[in-house]
Amino acid sequence: MPPPTCLRSFSQLSLDSAARASMASRARAHAQMACFSTSAARYANPVSKKKGMAQTKKGNKTLNVKKGRNTVQDTGKRPAQGERKAARKRIVLTNDNALEVATLKDMTKADVLSEANQGRVLGIPEATVDALRAVEAFKTTQGWSLFRRPATLMRKETIELAKVMKAAEDDKKTLRRVLSGERLSGKSTLLLQGLSMAFVRQWIVINLPEAQDIINAHTEYAPLPDSQPTQYTQETYTASLLSQILKANNTAENPMLEKIKVTTSPALPLALPADATLKQLIELGIVNPEASWPVFVALWQELTQPGRPPIMLAVDGTAHMMKESDYLNAEVKPIHSFDLTIIRHFIDHLSGAKSLPNGGVILAATSQSNAPSTPALDFSVQVAEARQVDPSKTPRWNPYKNIDPRVMEALKDLHSPTAKEQLKPLDVIKVGGLSKDEARSIMEYYAESGMLRAKIDDGFVTEKWSLAGMGNIGELERASVRLRI
Amino acid sequence: MPPRLNVLSLARAIPYRPKGQAQWLSRPAARLAPTQTRTYSDAKDEDKVPAADRSKRIDAKPLGHVSEEASAMADITGGEGPDLSQGTPVQDIVRGDKKAEEKLPKVMKEQLKSNASSAPKGSRSYSTSTTPIGGGSGAFDMGLMSMTSPPAEAVAPGLKFEMPVLPLPKDGHLKHRYDPVVDQVTNLLMRHGMKSVAQRNMALILQQLRTASVPTINPQRPLLPGAPPPSHLPLNPVLYLTLAIDSVSPLLRIRNMKGAAGGGVALPIPVPLGQRQRRRTAIQWILGAASKRKTNTSGKTGYAQRVASEIISVIEGRSSVWDRRNMVHKAGISARANIVLPRKR
Amino acid sequence: MPFISNINFTEGTLVKRSLETFFGIGPKVSQSIMARFHIQPWAKVGSLKASTLLDLTAELSNMKIENDLRREIQDSIIRLKDMGSYRGRRHAMGLPVRGQRTRTQIATARKLNRTLRGGDGRLGM
């Protein structure tokens, strides 16, 4: 128990010189009552090591009490199966902290395809967002999770695509477009814009989210009986595709598939109830995967009857399906992607072998970051792009490159077109960089959402535009929003 | 005696427009005087130099070459003349003189010809660009050329270049272009010199802070005084991070002086920390606590998510880092008698 | 628990791995079997249909695997030995057969080169 004088000096202890001087004088005044004296410790005998413990000499093993203290204890608890994958692939589309942009208008059926939208940022309506989620149009690498709600910039290429869609809808034409461009230029987002415009205009939308998932031999396959040459169906993939089609096209606001009745009488392995709707037909295919391909064929026949809405067929990562797949046939030889029924269906429509009686658009987006080498596709796209710039100067093919003849045959309208009309049936939309005005428009949207804290003036826009390599939208987003220094 | 001319009534009109009051020089009268008469003549001079001798007259003196004339003209008009200490290039001397130009060496003649033509040699009419705007289908938009050139400002006299526009931009200096806290955290995240990985993780942490829900402050763990309300934090992730670090950073560290307490026992001495040291300690504690957290996700974003969760828990007062800081402060308080301040001389 | 050739396999195991547990089936043979029955490389045994399992069992019963194969190998070695050939003697002595050096590096030969080569066999096959 310290003496009372000690307590008093304890409370008055301070570090400035005046107080210290007074303290010193006070200490002198009080007789030797050193509160924090080290005399006792100094005069005590040296502390001897405990007799029981071993003397620590080199070579002696001693107890290490600190071992394992700093590591994380593995309790053995693991997340449930599939939880980690779900967390990795989760799509987040809202950020509650982002500001609500009051001036943001949604896409409406009346004006989504108009040319007046150029340079504006339009929000995607909620019903369409649900439909896009159902067809897996959003990707985790995109920046949707930073803003209040999904919105896209209607750039020059979007207006071009809108014109194509308008022509397809009005004149009941089948127009096919390949979306190309450099890395991060916005090809997948342009595809998403095409899908959302189709949903808003109430078309039937069928999307193959990743061509890689079809050909990488991760799903079941089986030969299609009575097909010459042998084609192969993929039951589980077709069943999941049917469920996506149902969920996206049969929303609560617009239950299209419930209203349409089955008019053709398809030959299905399972009996369909009389007077069935398309919804019931699709559900039959979902529940019984072994019947999924005949159901898909029947569904397609139904949708191509006169009087049905136009169809949008889309695929991302086209290069994967322009080569041999990873499946093997009975002779242990690789199966070409064009022999898989789903891909053959798509390619028939892309190449022009089949067309859509009610009109529609076929979109094939390429990817620069995830693409195997496909000289045939690269060459066709290159030729089509060059023709847009100067029709007289198109590159010649390299005879030393091993080009897939089937792919060249399928894309012959792209590299050697014969059609002379303004809107070619098969053409490429090259997605380039943004113009300064478009860049300004999207950066104003970022700033109004609170994600970009800067004054948007000419100098700032030009700086970010230049840093983005003359307006590459992915790089622009990284430079302005992603804080990726 | 030759008649003196009235300076005010000049026969010859001098074709120049003065720029401004500042450009007026102090000796226009002498220059404006016509050269035909000797207005400075004196009886004394006349005795020394005979009237027939015209060698001293201005019009008898040889004309200076191009540069001298140009500098004289510049003096008159008030512009900046050529540097007389440097030699005049040959092309300037023979400019306009066709016969002399023909006698020039071939290289110079070619140069003159190319200067006469509009486009400089070796230039193209189009620009190579990384991303053609409009997909290359339209004309190339040379966005770099559409910038309006800044208006020419009058440089103040005595200055060679323009005055800087204050305040200077925060990211103007190459080595101090990032926010100091962000820069420090990035460097402390870096392992094996992989700075870009650290920057990526930093961007992910800030993104997490932006999208996380608004934190609730624990009154037991007060943050830095003057902190903004918690609803402001997610939209300003750098401020969020800075607030967390500065609130939980210890003000001092305990230095153990070996054997000073007597009997082999070390004497604890509290030592104050500077701002960067405080932040470093706080960041190290936060990163250490984050690495001990459990992660339920897989992929590259795991560590960044854990660090972001740790920062949020610091602001909310749930983190174990607060206890560490309080322990250090307590130890410092109990050891405050051992502070040895240098004696003021 | 699915049965292939009377052997029980867990549902979560890969078909490829399960096939390769049979003596006489390696990566190439398993690939050709799976291609013939249109089973994708990463299929699990639990995802196969009953008909496919029966087909696989039938295929395996037609192939020479397990005890049949072991017997054949042992018979060949015994034949060599009974003939009195060099190769037979080397098998009997447990030394390298194919002309390798014997000064060093004979551990594998000592372990594997015996008259009763190929292990004891699997129960139930």
**Per-residue pLDDT of chain B in tens (345 residues, 90 and over written 9):** 555 545 454 445 455 554 544 444 444 444 444 445 555 555 555 556 566 777 778 778 777 778 888 888 888 888 887 888 888 888 888 887 888 888 888 888 888 887 776 555 566 666 565 565 555 444 445 555 545 665 555 667 888 888 988 999 888 899 999 999 999 999 999 999 999 999 999 999 999 999 999 999 999 999 999 999 999 999 999 999 999 999 999 999 999 999 888 888 999 999 999 999 999 999 999 999 999 998 878 888 999 999 999 999 999 999 999 999 999 999 999 999 999 888 887
Query: Can you tell me which residue has the tokens 């098998």?
Result: C91
Residue C27, domain CATH: 1.10.8.50
State whether residue A316 is helix, strand or coil: strand
Question: Rounded CA gap, A346 and A339, in Å?
Answer: 11
Burial of B294 per CB tally in 10 Å (0-12, 13-18, 19+): exposed
In a domain, B17, yes or no: no
CB of A258 within 8 Å of a chain C CB? The answer is: no
- Same domain membership, residue A365 and residue A277: yes
Nearest by CB to B210, from A70, A95, A431: name it.
Answer: A95
Question: Rounded CA gap, B332 and B34, in Å?
Answer: 91
In a domain, C45, yes or no: yes
How near does any CA of chain A get to the CA of B120, in Å?
25
pTM: 0.76
- Same domain membership, residue A378 and residue A470: no
Q: Above 50 in pLDDT, residue C56?
A: yes
> By residue range, what is the domain housing residue C84?
67-117
**pLDDT beneath 70, residues of chain A:** 1-36, 47-56, 70-72, 484-485
Tally A–B CB contacts below 8 A. 128
DSSP character string of A124-187: PPHHHHHHHHHTT---TTSSGGGSSS-EEE--HHHHHHHHHHHHHHHHT-EEEEEEEESTTSSH
Nearest by CB to C41, from A217, A222, A330: name it.
Answer: A217
In a domain, A380, yes or no: yes
In a domain, A84, yes or no: no
How high is the pLDDT of residue A7?
47
In a domain, C73, yes or no: yes
- Same domain membership, residue A245 and residue A127: yes
- Same domain membership, residue C80 and residue C36: no
Question: Rounded CA gap, A249 and A264, in Å?
Answer: 20
* Touching status, chains C and B (3+ beta-carbon pairs under 8 Å): no
Counted domains in chain A: 2
In a domain, B98, yes or no: yes
- Same domain membership, residue B106 and residue B255: no
How high is the pLDDT of residue B101?
84
With cut-offs at 50, 70 and 90, classify the pLDDT of residue C104: very high
Residues of chain C in contact with residue A330, where contact means CB-CB under 8 angstroms, are 35-36, 38
Residue after which a domain boundary falls, among C44, C62, C80: C62
- Element spanning B146, H or E: none
Summarize the confidence of residues C42-54 as an average pLDDT.
94
Residues of chain B in contact with residue A436, where contact means CB-CB under 8 angstroms, are 143, 146
In a domain, C72, yes or no: yes
- For residue B302, give the chain A residue with the closest CA: A88
State whether residue B212 is helix, strand or coil: coil
In a domain, B160, yes or no: no
> By residue range, what is the domain housing residue A444?
440-482
What residues have CB less than 8 Å from B254, skipping those under 6 apart?
A: B268, B269, B270, B271, B328, B331, B332, B335
Using the beta-carbon criterion (under 8 Å), do A389 and B137 form an inter-chain contact? Answer: yes
How high is the pLDDT of residue A66?
83
Nearest by CB to C35, from A219, A220, A332: name it.
Answer: A332
- Same domain membership, residue B208 and residue B119: no
In a domain, C16, yes or no: yes
CB of A421 within 8 Å of a chain C CB? The answer is: no
pLDDT (tens digit per residue) in A4-26: 454 454 444 444 555 455 555 55
Residues of chain A in contact with residue C35, where contact means CB-CB under 8 angstroms, are 328-332
- Same domain membership, residue C103 and residue C56: no
In a domain, B222, yes or no: yes
- Same domain membership, residue A465 and residue A357: no
- Same domain membership, residue A447 and residue A372: no
Residue after which a domain boundary falls, among C42, C62, C82: C62
Interface probe for B, chosen from A9, A97, A455 (most Cβ of B below 10 Å), is A97
In a domain, B249, yes or no: yes
In a domain, A356, yes or no: yes
- Same domain membership, residue B196 and residue B113: no
Using the beta-carbon criterion (under 8 Å), do B263 and A95 form an inter-chain contact? Answer: no
In a domain, C124, yes or no: no
CB of A47 within 8 Å of a chain B CB? The answer is: yes
- Same domain membership, residue A450 and residue A304: no
Counted domains in chain B: 2
CB of A327 within 8 Å of a chain C CB? The answer is: yes
In a domain, C52, yes or no: yes
Interface probe for C, chosen from A328, A335, A339 (most Cβ of C below 10 Å), is A328
In a domain, C123, yes or no: no
How high is the pLDDT of residue A319?
97
What residues have CB less than 8 Å from B251, skipping those under 6 apart?
A: B272, B273, B278, B329, B332
Residues of chain A in contact with residue B213, where contact means CB-CB under 8 angstroms, are 96-97
> By residue range, what is the domain housing residue B80?
66-132
Tally A–C CB contacts below 8 A. 28
CB of A459 within 8 Å of a chain B CB? The answer is: no
- Tokens encoding B173: 């200096």
In a domain, B30, yes or no: no
How near does any CA of chain C get to the CA of A331, in Å?
7
How high is the pLDDT of residue B24?
43
How near does any CA of chain A get to the CA of C40, in Å?
6
pLDDT (tens digit per residue) in C70-86: 999 999 999 999 999 99
Residue B240, domain CATH: 1.10.455.10
Nearest by CB to C40, from A220, A329, A330: name it.
Answer: A220
- Same domain membership, residue C58 and residue C11: yes
- Same domain membership, residue A406 and residue A330: yes
How high is the pLDDT of residue B33?
45
* Touching status, chains B and A (3+ beta-carbon pairs under 8 Å): yes
In a domain, B321, yes or no: yes
- For residue A330, give the chain C residue with the closest CA: C36
